[in-house]
Amino acid sequence: MQRPDSVTDDFLQRLVARVPSTAGGAWKLTEVYTGEVLVELPQSTPADIEAAFAVSRRAQAQWSQWPVKKRLKVFAKFHSLVLEHNETIVDLIQAESGKARRMACEETLDVPMVTGYYLKRAARLLAPKKHAGPVPVVSSSLEIRQPKGVVGIIAPWNFPFATGISDAIPALIAGNGVVVKPDNKTALSPLFGIELLERAGLPKGLFQVVCGEGPDVGPTLIDNANYVMFTGSTATGRVIGERAGRNLIGSCLELGGKNPMIVLPDANLDDTVKGALFGAFGNTGQICMHIERMYIHDSIYADFKARFLEATRDLAIGASYDFSSDVGSLVSVDHKDRVATHVADAVEKGATVLVGGRARPDIGPAFFEPTRCST
């Protein structure tokens, strides 16, 4: 398979050159569809991370003094640049994550939507507010919004552009600096997002990116941040929340879930099956809000089951940089192996595979069929 024309070697080298790395080595970032190495991603040491925070903090001292309207001009330009370069962003997301093109397109829309939201509302949200004091008429108080400083963001691999950039937008507009750690597998799209922000006028150095495995990078990032945001597993969230608490800094933790779908007798099954299909298999099933299990009322169980399984079998699974595939690849071979282990474990414990259940190495190294089991 030929990678998109936009994803050139020179372009990728320019992106990863932004990552500080003095002695951290490199990580082979691959095109998921083929397993081909796209670029050697530099890995940041603790010293590199401390230096990145120092650079961001110096830039933030000036940025925080900009009037809100001046900051918003940067984001108005950024909004236009993201839309202008949408195809390139989609190509990068597909190459690094293996998403079907529709899902990659949907992810890119998150960033201009978030930007547009704050372009309309940030001036009001950040404006000082006057409140009555303890003695009416003769006393009052003024509430002002102060930047935190430098915000640390640990972004996941399932929505690298949306979480890596969208989470940073309100922090930056409010006058903060940002240091983001994307997942090694999916660092390219957030790196390009930072490039576009600087093209729009964001001061160089304000938005830093560091790369490395979580246990190697996370502690230093949290210890240098004034606020931390994390999207990922509950187990890791507990560790991050505890460390943030020890450092007396705030944190925002979006963690894992176990989401049921309940279908009652009055449901419109045409609409319900469509919703269930996306709820189970959108982004190749790699969304934290996805349906983990379904409870179907006895009176409609057989009808729903037949419709849902037929719709699942009709899904087009493939490796393509066009819209011919409904379902793309899992994010890595390791993840594909974990999925296969879960299916095997379910069967061993009495479940029956109703549809799918197989890896598809004929399509690509990390492909696995959309699968549903019953107990």
Residues annotated as catalytic (active site), given as ranges: 254, 288
* CA separation for the pair 175, 148 (Å, rounded): 8
Task: Tokens for 301, please give them.
Answer: 């169980």
Q: Which of 55, 64, 331 is nearest to 182 (CA)?
A: 331
Give yes or no for a contact between 301 and 286, defined as CB atoms under 8 angstroms apart. Answer: no
Torsion of CA 299, 305, 308, 313, to 10 degrees: -160
Q: Within its chain, how far is the Cα of 25 from the centroid?
A: 24
Q: What is the DSSP letter of 200?
A: T
List b or e across 57-87, with b for residues whose CB sees 16 or more CB atoms inside 10 angstroms. bebbeebbeeebeebbebbebbbebbeebee
Between the alpha carbon of residue 29 and those of residues 23, 32, 36, 63, 74, the distances in Å are: 18, 9, 9, 33, 31
Three-class secondary structure of residue 116 per DSSP: helix
Cα(140)–Cα(130) distance, rounded to whole angstroms? 7
What b/e string do you get for 285-318 counting C-beta neighbours within 10 Å, with b at 16 or more? bbbeebbeebebeeebeeebeebbbebbeebebb
